[in-house]
Amino acid sequence: MSYFDAASAVPLHPVARQALLAALDDGWADPSRLYREGRKARMLLDAAREAAAEAVGCRADELTFTPSGTRAVHTGIAGALAGRRRTGRHLIVSAVEHSSVLHSAEAFEAEGGQVTRVPVLRTGAVEAGAYEAALRPDTALACLQSANHEVGTEQPVAAVAEACRAAGVPLLVDAAQSLGWGRVEGGWSLLTASAHKWGGPSGVGLLVVRKGVRFAVQGASDERESGRAPGFENLPAIVAAAASLRAVRTEAGREAVRLRELTARIRARVPELVPDVEVVGEPERRLPGIVTFSCLYVDGETLLHELDRAGFAVSSGSSCTSSTLTPSHVLKAMGVLSEGNVRVSLPAGAAEEDVERFLDVLPGVVAGVREKLGAPVPAATVQEDVLVVDALGKRCPIPVIELAKVIGTVPVGGRVRVLSDDEAARLDIPAWCEMRDQEYVGEEPAEKGTAYSVRRLT
């Protein structure tokens, strides 16, 4: 099996395994105790904190180990908002943040706070000016990921941090995807990350709160981890997380160059090998190992199963996957195609021959899925101005497939009206028009579902 889903989780690094096993023997005692075994555990915890802080670029007493990256995000956002509640009840996030950030924003709204969701370009990047424009006198906190987990686009953190600093607003950076590759530059105020993203064990997160940032811990707390992560520390996992972060950083420069070449090869060759494909995300300012593309007329869940049968573990932001019935919020915010979406995220050490085999297998897999779904073939033109396609009750990508089948049967300037009750159609039909150089006219309520109008231009 070729594992191409490193953006979800990275296999345990050999250094992490060694450190974990060693810490199981030497780090089992309570590090808050003064006897010998307790002091030994405290030394391990302090050394892990120093190593992690050096990798992040912060002071050791600014860094807290949490039970997960998600917990780090929730704790960081809640604590920063509470610490600045006298300033106001306004939060800024980007539209493509990780779900943990967006869930925190939703909880804040439910409590009466106000949230501004900054839109992104079609590449998935925010504009620093848009963040600056969103800042208000009552803004308590702004959040921005360092790089997107679905499409790999890097965000202008330094520029946004400067705008926030000038306004006196702290910036929380979700660095989960990027921290294994290097420090996050810029004057950020809070940072979160998760060890399983860089080859550490799962169940270890990082929360950094810079000195001077107003922060009020929410909920019950104790004396451990500055009160920000109550409970007994998972010391063996913490030691392994810090050791693996240091190890991957020593390899990051060389490996980034190699993975960039491999992902550039995928970005260039997939559209050449497979027709009707859109490669998404920023082409240059991006993480080394992630490349994402969407295939027209393909059921995303079926495509992933077929690639799994061929020996490739990949993921998808498609709305046609078993985990969700709605399109990825990232792809939706970008305004790109969601159907048949594939994210390839290469782990360190990914073999070139595995990438070549993936490129050899993909065209046949996509063609097979399209054939099963009845993908469009050329049709004769008929003289009708408006053609209604009833796709009610049919899930993606069927509404788009039906549209593609009939668009050639109306004259240039004529319209096709697609009836659909699938939420994914609201994203995928305009994205299809963008790809196929047709005009998306708009949508309107129908007796059942929604009617989407498309005008034939070519």
Active-site residue set: 320
Cα separation values, 394 from 399, 421, 424, 440, 445, Å: 7, 8, 11, 21, 17
CB 343 within 8 A of CB 367: no
**pLDDT tens, 417-457?**
999 998 889 999 999 999 999 999 999 998 889 999 999 99
CB 155 within 8 A of CB 144: yes
pLDDT of residue 458 exceeding 90: no
pLDDT given at position 378: 40
Cα separation values, 218 from 74, 222, 227, Å: 10, 12, 10
pLDDT given at position 383: 40
What does the alpha-carbon distance between residue 427 and residue 148 come to, in Å, rounded to a whole number?
19
**pLDDT tens, 189-229?**
999 999 999 999 999 999 999 999 999 988 777 777 777 88
> What share of the chain in percent tops pLDDT 70?
96
Chain centre distance of CA 3 = 18
pLDDT of residue 324 exceeding 80: no
Contacts of 169 (CB under 8 A, 6+ apart): 92, 135, 139, 140, 141, 142
pTM attached to this predicted model = 0.87
> What share of the chain in percent tops pLDDT 90?
79
pLDDT given at position 218: 87
CB 152 within 8 A of CB 166: no
pLDDT given at position 325: 52
Cα separation values, 192 from 58, 101, 131, 437, Å: 12, 11, 20, 41
pLDDT of residue 326 exceeding 70: no
Higher pLDDT, 1 or 48: 48
**pLDDT tens, 265-283?**
999 999 999 999 999 999 9
**pLDDT tens, 150-183?**
999 999 999 999 999 999 999 999 999 999 999 9
Q: How confident is the model at residue 67 (pLDDT cuts 50, 70, 90)?
A: very high
Q: How confident is the model at residue 143 (pLDDT cuts 50, 70, 90)?
A: very high
The amino acid that residue 451 corresponds to is A
**How would you classify the pairing of strands 290-295 and 341-345?**
antiparallel
The amino acid that residue 193 corresponds to is A
What does the alpha-carbon distance between residue 308 and residue 341 come to, in Å, rounded to a whole number?
15
pLDDT given at position 228: 81
Helix pair angle (398-406, 425-436), 10° resolution: 40
What does the alpha-carbon distance between residue 161 and residue 262 come to, in Å, rounded to a whole number?
32
Q: How confident is the model at residue 233 (pLDDT cuts 50, 70, 90)?
A: confident
CB 363 within 8 A of CB 319: no
pLDDT of residue 380 exceeding 60: no
Half-sphere exposure of 317 (CA within 13 A, CB side): 32
